[in-house]
Amino acid sequence: EPVQVTELVGEALDRCRQSASNKQITLASGGTENLHVWGNRGQLAAALGNLVENAVNYSPARTRVGIAGRRIAAPGGDLVEIAVTDQGIGISAADKERIFERFYRVDPARSRDTGGTGLGLAIVKHVAASHGGEVTVWSAEGQGSTFTLRLPEAGNAREKAESGREGRSGRREHRLSGA
Ligand code: ATP
Ligand code: MG
């Protein structure tokens, strides 16, 4: 089914509103208007929710968590990029290699109070891949992190109707190379 990115972002933010306000973390979002991705709505919402939850969990009080959407032109069909940026503790280069593994947590002692199991990012990676997309991370220790979800764009209803008439299979079959 086509899923509105604005709705996904809204659900992800709702899920984190309480923990964010406890830490006086500002949640902001933008750029998601008229973006649609194709796939399982619940899975996509859970994936984005995990990224926002991490951003809040691994950030100090009185910082900002932003979610930004945008469309990227790509040869095989446009992509939707959803970037979650925090001003948190950041992730070292060595840990960046491993955080998407199941049960891997950086410094479990320090992050024990966040009560996680280390499955969140493994789920995000799985959901991204099963939707023909990918998740990547940029981070600088002590400065913050940006997790970026890239998914094939579903296109708007008119585009889909037209591609159907032309007998094309549509963009939902597009796969990112190397994902
Ligand atoms: P769970 O999500 O299962 O509750 P978790 O948050 O520990 O537990 P992941 O979401 O998979 O597990 O994240 C793995 C590890 O990556 C975290 O324990 C944390 O050390 C690190 N990490 C994830 N997101 C961030 C972030 N935004 N900033 C800093 N470190 C992060
Ligand atoms: Mg997590």
In this prediction the ipTM stands at 0.99
- Of all protein residues, the one whose alpha carbon is nearest to atom 2 of ligand 1 is 120
Ligand nearest to the CA of 147: 1
pLDDT tens per residue across span 23-80: 999 999 999 999 999 999 999 999 999 999 999 999 999 999 999 999 999 998 999 9
- How many A from CA of 139 to the centre of ligand 1? 13
DSSP letters, 54-115, are HHHHTS-TT-EEEEEEEEE--TTS-EEEEEEEE-SS---HHHHTTTTSTT--SSTTTTGGGT
pLDDT tens per residue across span 93-151: 999 999 999 999 998 776 556 668 999 999 999 999 999 999 999 999 999 999 999 99
Ligand nearest to the CA of 103: 1
